[in-house]
Amino acid sequence: MKLLLFLALLIGSCRAFEFIIEGEWESEDSEYHNERFRRNVLTSEEEEFEAIKGDDITVKSYKVESRITSRFVHTTVKSSVVNSGPSAQSIGFNVQIPKRAFITNFTMNVNGITFIGSVKEKTVARNLYAQARARGKAAGIVRANSQAMETFKTEVHVPAGSNVEFELHYQEMMHRKLGFYEHVLHLQPGRLVPVLQVDVYIFEPKGIAFVEAPNTLGEHFVDLIKVTHTKDKAHVVFKPTLQQQRKCHNCTETAVDGVFTVKYDVAREGNAGELQVSDGHFVHFFAPNNLSPLSKNIVFVIDVSGSMWGLKMKQTVEAMKAILDDLTMDDYFSIIDFNHNVRCWNEDLVPASSIQVEDAKKYIQNIKPNGGTNINEALLKAVQMLVKASNQGLINPRSVSMIILVSDGDPTVGEIKLSAIQKNVKRLMREDFSLFSLGIGFDVDFDFLERLAIENRGVAQRIYANHDAAEQLRAFYSQVSSPLLRKITIQFPDEAVTDVTQNHFDKFFSGSELVVAGKLQLSDLTALQSFTTASAATMELSLQTETELQELDTLLSQQQHSFNGFARQMWAYITVNQLLAERSLAPTAPKKRRITQRILNLAVEHQFVTPLTALLVESEGGQERLLADSPKDPKQGCCPAAALGGRTPSQVLYSIPPWAPMPTSIPQTPSPVVRPLPEHITIVENDPHFIVHLPKNNMDVCFNIDSKPGHILSLVSDPGTGVAINGQLVGAKKMRDNKLNTYFGTITVSHKPTGVRVDVGTTQIDVTEGKNNHSFSWADTATLLLNRVNIEIMKEQKVIVTIDGKITVMVLLHGAWKKHPINVDFLGFYAPSDNQYSSVAHGLIGQFTEEPEVRVFDLHDGADPEKKEATMEVKGQKLAVTRGWQKDYRRDKKRGSSVYCWFVHNSGKGFIEGHYTDYIVPRLDSFLTMA
């Protein structure tokens, strides 16, 4: 925002201030959508930007500090200036800030007179200002546009020798795009500064995956930006000396002129998200990865009116060619171009085959812009195209359908009333369709495009008509080109939370992040849980995570450069932005007034300069006052929806869909369904020890398999049901007693009829269905519902796979101390005896579906007095067996419970069919073939 403060300060017998406020103010009762609003615009090329303005002044210092805590940023810009000229003059202090940021304070000290800022409702601030109007003058609001920044400007007129100190504070939430967060600071001091320093402190409680500060200031400053970081903290510092700032060795001009950029991402343990609690508030960050993308159905709607002639059209064509090349064979698409007429490249959605893509690129290349702009008819045609494809069954119910509109102007042909176009589009759009609007340049009514997108579950973005417009178009498409989830709902126990921000989202795109915040209610709970449900490419997904209530506050109190109030401010930041978006769509004046009041209350409480509040800057005695207003009212589109893929904000407290395996009535601390453990079960544990339960004989028989690391053993091979269960062995770190122990490091469950394969490893769980791949970590608690296959993941404990409700297996995770000289992480396998395999099932475990007759006799003392010995008769053979015990770790993973069994020696020889080496298979999804 470009906030301009001008203060004329006359030191002497009197100080007189007069304020002049420029800009248009909205009436609460106005029907905004029937109005057209125009702003005077200054582009970044039309003015020379300098942080400090004035002749014959000395800038003693210019310091910028950003504290980023859990993606929330508090930035402070300070400057100390002296009027070293012979006479009074105006000194300017200018700061470019991100458009998404809210100014929270501005203070100024002029020769010992301190002006302190406070955020107030505009009418209150104006009344206070009016009381002092005769005492001075200060000035107004001008808007300047650059791609991501707006400008705060202050001027103070001071006598010679005056000392002035400026300090500006602003806050913003970082938005993840394409897999990382980016923090940008504009550094344009306009002159050499003896003390110029930038510090960016990052604290991410769960850890930092990477942090980098690319040199975006130019070759002059190579190696001057220093980055240090630990597991959860980072510090980026830029502190050039006076000599290093010079453009050349003897130059008096500064080379510091540009953007200072810090990029980073956080370490994520799993797909369930990161839940943080601090200062009576909570924030849930949700950014899953390693999921197969959903297929897309896209209608590109491109403005080819006369105003697109030249560079705009050339860059649009260039971008569209790259976008079309990015489509996959699973995607469907078409192209509509419009001026005063509407044309279709193809009347129907078609698969994005290489032939169709090449034909579409030729069509785009031959477009010649001319004529007027018929947005209404073009959009209605696009919606009808998606509806037709859906009605004809061409659209996969799990796919994502979207319209991408690219336009540079207002409607001039057909329906030109903006509110009527909005109503027409909204009436035809289905709930599972989204509209994304891209406005090129400043001739387009971007506010209209933004309302159009927000109303239809999309977002709008302005594309700046300069040399890199094609790259801007491609970058936007990259953000929406890989949808991973649909219909995401993040829920919390309703007795634990209140004032929850938007927690239902239409889509989640790869590389982005969904954020939900709220307040904690007073309760006896010591932990907070979240439950996330979503639809993925081939399955319904349910995830759960929890966090301790006091843990983060304790950690924050130990950090020197963290922002301790981040959760409270982030909740307010998200809430205010969502209310501004709701206000822009309010259908009636009374509803708009109610939303306005909520915004005012929050903005004043949390000290945010919004379109409805003003920053009143006054001296300590309140005798001199300055007024700064936000330049843009929400009806002019200040605020987008919550995130890419968002919808008009909605809140859903705990409401579990019927397919999610969670309680329908929510207990005090919700938890997944706990099934009773079968009393008798077949087990494979440790090195690996097999315990086969024989229900007809009412006994358990044990044997070990002594094989080699890397070997894959067939546990169940059942062509009749299409189920194959195999385990791959890993070795201990080194030998013990001249023997290398082996364990199962991976267990794979494959169901051939559905193409579902579950690979359970010691570090992650991979789920494959056909060509779709999804990965989860052991940090997740999740339920996955696929076609005929259900998968439950219990955090750091076990995975349960159920096929057709007839076959269930459980894989238990055993973690070893990472520094143990011998032990490694390994897996245990458990299967109930009543699994319904077919009669042709085989494998080390599957062969006992047809239970053999077993007789144990000749019981006698053995070499070990605690272990009896006997003879077992099975399959016509007599085997020497020993009475012993193995461990069942289902109830107690540390100690286990003893299962008494008859132990068959020599890797089960005589009890299993053939030799154990007959059960080695080539791949983890192989069926067994025995000679």
**DSSP bridge partners of 232:** none
Q: Give domain status of residue 336, yes or no.
A: yes
Percent composition of the chain: helix, strand, coil (DSSP 3-state, to 5): 20, 40, 40
Residue 314 is classified by DSSP as H
Six token digits for residue 335: 């192209």
Mean pLDDT confidence for 688-717? 93
Comparing 32-41, 595-604, 637-646, 812-821, which segment has the lowest mean pLDDT? 32-41
Whether 304 and 239 map to the same domain: the answer is no
Q: State in Å, rounded, how far the first CA of the chain is from the last one.
A: 78
Q: Give domain status of residue 783, yes or no.
A: no
Whether 206 and 342 map to the same domain: the answer is no
Whether 873 and 902 map to the same domain: the answer is yes
Q: Give domain status of residue 762, yes or no.
A: no
Whether 125 and 177 map to the same domain: the answer is yes
Comparing 142-156, 216-230, 446-460, which segment has the lowest mean pLDDT? 142-156
CATH number of the domain enclosing 92: 2.60.40
- Per DSSP, the residues of 476-541 read HHHHHS-EEEEEEEEE--TTTEES----EEEEEETT--EEEEEEEPS-S-SEEEEEEEEE-SSSEE
Confirm if 61 and 550 have CB atoms less than 8 A apart: no
- C-alpha–C-alpha distance, residues 603 and 887, integer Å: 61
Whether 245 and 373 map to the same domain: the answer is no
494 vs 526, 532, 658, 682, CA distance in Å?
15, 14, 18, 41
Residue 64 is classified by DSSP as E
Closest CA to 369 of 311, 305, 299, 439: 305
Q: Give domain status of residue 588, yes or no.
A: no
- C-alpha–C-alpha distance, residues 463 and 228, integer Å: 35
Whether 507 and 452 map to the same domain: the answer is no
Does residue 674 carry a pLDDT above 60? no
pLDDT in tens, 488-497: 999 999 899 9
Q: Which pLDDT value is given to residue 666?
A: 36
Round the average pLDDT of the chain to a whole number and report it: 84
Whether 473 and 535 map to the same domain: the answer is no
Q: Which residue has the higher pLDDT, 441 or 226?
A: 226
Q: 139: pLDDT confidence band, cut at 50, 70 and 90?
A: very low
Does residue 367 carry a pLDDT above 60? yes
The last residue of one of the domains, among 466, 481, 496, is: 481
- C-alpha–C-alpha distance, residues 143 and 381, integer Å: 36
735 vs 519, 688, 823, 886, 906, CA distance in Å?
54, 16, 10, 22, 20
The last residue of one of the domains, among 481, 510, 534, is: 481
Q: What percent of the chain has pLDDT over 70?
A: 85
Q: Is 737 exposed, middle or buried (0-12, 13-18, 19+ CB in 10 A)?
A: exposed
Whether 98 and 197 map to the same domain: the answer is yes
Q: Give domain status of residue 772, yes or no.
A: no
Comparing 662-676, 731-745, 778-792, 840-854, which segment has the lowest mean pLDDT? 662-676
Mean pLDDT confidence for 85-109? 88
Domain count within the chain: 4
pLDDT in tens, 768-786: 998 889 999 999 999 999 9
Segment holding 164, helix H or strand E: strand 163-173
Strand order in the sheet with 281-286: 274-278, 281-286, 514-520, 497-498
Q: 885: pLDDT confidence band, cut at 50, 70 and 90?
A: confident
- C-alpha–C-alpha distance, residues 871 and 902, integer Å: 10
- C-alpha–C-alpha distance, residues 412 and 414, integer Å: 7
Confirm if 530 and 284 have CB atoms less than 8 A apart: yes
Domain with 418, as residue range(s), is: 296-481
Does residue 149 carry a pLDDT above 70? no
Confirm if 558 and 507 have CB atoms less than 8 A apart: no
Whether 341 and 397 map to the same domain: the answer is yes
Whether 424 and 558 map to the same domain: the answer is no
Q: Which pLDDT value is given to residue 625?
A: 60
228 vs 68, 85, 212, 241, 355, CA distance in Å?
15, 41, 9, 20, 50
The last residue of one of the domains, among 455, 481, 507, is: 481
* CA 914 to chain centroid: 53
Q: Give domain status of residue 586, yes or no.
A: no
User: Going by DSSP bridges, is the β-strand pair 400-407/460-463 parallel, antiparallel, or unpaired?
Assistant: unpaired
Whether 163 and 248 map to the same domain: the answer is yes
Whether 748 and 867 map to the same domain: the answer is yes
Confirm if 328 and 426 have CB atoms less than 8 A apart: no
Find where tokens 């698969």 sit: 351
List, in order, residues 6 or more apart from 847 with CB less than 8 Å away.
Answer: 841, 912, 913
Q: Give domain status of residue 666, yes or no.
A: no
254 vs 47, 238, 245, 343, 520, CA distance in Å?
18, 15, 5, 53, 50
Q: Give domain status of residue 34, yes or no.
A: no
pLDDT in tens, 290-343: 999 999 999 999 999 998 888 889 889 999 999 999 999 999 999 999 999 999
Task: Report the interhelical angle of 446-455 vs 418-428 (nearest 10°).
Answer: 20
The three-state secondary structure class of 231 is coil
Find where tokens 């369709």 sit: 433
Closest CA to 315 of 187, 159, 475: 475
The three-state secondary structure class of 57 is strand
CATH number of the domain enclosing 459: 3.40.50.410
